[in-house]
Amino acid sequence: MRKVITAADVEALLRSGASPDTLPADAIFTPSARDLLRSRRVPARPGDNKPATPSAAKADCGCAHSVDLKNPASIEAFFNSPALEAIKVKMCDIGRRMWTRNYVDGNGGNITVRVSDDLVLCTPTLISKGFMTPADMCLIDLEGRQVAGTKKRTSEALTHLGIMRRQPKARACVHAHPVHATAFAVASIVPPPCLIPEAEVFVGPVGLAEYRTPGTAENANAVGEAGVKHQVVLMQNHGVITWGNDVEDAYWKMENIEAYCQTVSIASQLGSGLRSIGPDKLKDLIALRHKLGMEDTRLTDGTKDCDLCAPGDFRAAPINSSAKTS
């Protein structure tokens, strides 16, 4: 059985002063282990210092090399490996947090984590996200075919894969129905920019995907296209999907967008209008996003300065000045 190398294994090896060349040549590296080795400028596998081929670069997710999908024993061993068990536990934790915050109801919401070039862990269908166990998780390929797990995979797996296939940096996706952000999605309105610094830095531009029947290829295409340049996508008449470099990062963006939409909703009813920070200050925040390694094309896609803070279709709630007072 091939050894699974975790970030903790790599840290222990480096602290001991041993060379990474001593790691097994056929080892499977978790995403965090590979990232740690790359940060130290060490190849993830002994001798693996050749430039990536175009096809490999397209599928690069910072994960282990591909698992042999024709070998059921190899798939099962990978699915039950300590590295994937830890990710399953984390997915259950994220599900519980979503449920506790009322981001999901009934069996709503789903979570995916890309664990190799061609395999993705996902939550099962018809289960409350607040009460999942690691044994409930499923393993699917990039076409949505389930290859491991006793529960049936989420019916919305294709939507997540629609993003992952188009955006290699999307290593995890979280889909939920938080009330305030979903209200914007139902109204087909993207929350206005240039109001809160944290939203500009950690959310960035918000996408809007046209409504398509959930779980269909059409929905996967609509959301996938919107997700290429947006880590937060409002799904018209449906909910929200976010992606990140790991499942915690993706979940944080769900918290970020819900808090932002709630604040904007309340502020718009106070009657004094919404005070914008302006395009010059926004440029400072976009520069900060770039320093943090976050992509943002608003300064390079031809957007005029006067449009950077445009509210789009958003309008603050009108105030009835003729209302009687007692």
| Residue 120: inside a domain | yes
Domain count for the chain, please give it. Answer: 2
Q: What are phi and psi of 113, to 5 degrees?
A: -140, 125
56 and 118 assigned to the same domain = no
Other Cβ atoms closer than 10 A to 150 = 9
Report how far residue 204's alpha carbon sits from residue 244's, in angstroms, rounded to the nearest whole number.
Answer: 12
What tens digit of pLDDT does each residue of 81-119 get? 999 999 999 999 999 999 999 999 999 999 999 999 999
Helix (H) or strand (E) holding 114: strand 110-114
What pLDDT does residue 290 have?
A: 92
Burial class (CB in 10 A: 0-12, 13-18, 19+), 242: buried
306 part of a folded domain: no
Residue holding tokens 């004094």?
272
Beta carbons within 8 Å of 299's beta carbon, 6+ residues apart: 283, 286
In a domain, 288, yes or no: no
Query: What pLDDT is stored for residue 319 in this prediction?
Result: 52
CA distances from 153 to 58, 129, 184, 268, 322 (A): 25, 13, 28, 40, 55
> In the prediction, which pLDDT does 24 show?
78
Same domain, 36 and 154: no
The pairing of strands 232-235 and 206-209 is parallel
Question: For the whole model, what pTM was predicted?
Answer: 0.78
Which of 240, 267, 294 is where one domain is finished? 267
Tokens 């797990």 label which residue?
149
Residue 201 belongs to domain spanning: 102-267
- Assess whether 178 and 46 both reside in one domain: no
Last residue of a domain, one of 246, 267, 288: 267
Residue 241 belongs to a domain: yes
Considering the domain architecture, whether residues 194 and 235 belong to the same structural domain is answered as yes
Q: Tens digits of per-residue pLDDT, 8-52?
A: 777 777 766 676 777 876 677 776 677 667 655 454 444 343 333
Q: Classify residue 320: in a domain, yes or no.
A: no
The pLDDT tens digits for 45-72 are 443 433 333 333 333 334 455 788 889 9
Percent of the chain with pLDDT over 70: 83
CATH of the domain at 257: 3.40.225.10
